[in-house]
Amino acid sequence: MITASQLRAGMVIRHEGQTYKVLLADYHPGQGKMGGAAHTRLKNLGTGTIWEHSFRSDLKLEDLPVDRRSMEFLYSDSDSHYFMHPETYEQVAIPLSAVADHAPFLEAGMRLGVEFVEDAPVSVLFPDVLEVRIAETTPPIHQQQDNTWKAARLENGMEVMVPQFIKIGDSIRLDVQNLKYMDRAKSAGK
């Protein structure tokens, strides 16, 4: 058991019989006789819904252990993504909702962290930055216009905004959380 003031992002808790993953936790201490409050954004692991709630700072919550395992992505079908443990060859089906917007970045053989709570997979951990290749964009403009952007389609079909100098076939580094261009990837030959 932990108090609400000890909540941190990434923890998994049980509240009123439901299991939640803490996405955001912000503690505000009280003033004088007024107690503090923990403002949280929680994801219900059963339904996938997001819930914003404020807890009294002294409220006791059940903290559930989170087991993180490195697993290799195999394939997807209409309702699940399938991962394999590289040492035991155990295969696990993970619901599409656990990957959500990041599903287009999954490639066969990719190793990612998978979080388990009570031996059930709850989420897939993607790296902060991925290198991706540009499949389609307008021709580059080589001028001193650093503040203009253009649309580009990645090899996986997603569309992102990139600077004017990017051309088809370039590799870029992409911020996976925000799906935004960071910089051009350094090539192995340079």
How high does pLDDT run on average in the chain? 85
* Distance from C-alpha of 69 to C-alpha of 67, rounded to nearest angstrom: 7
pLDDT digit string (tens) for 141-155? 776 666 788 889 998
Looking at the chain, the whole-number percentage of residues with pLDDT higher than 90 is: 9
At 145 the pLDDT is: 60
Q: What's the mean pLDDT in 52-68?
A: 89
At 190 the pLDDT is: 46
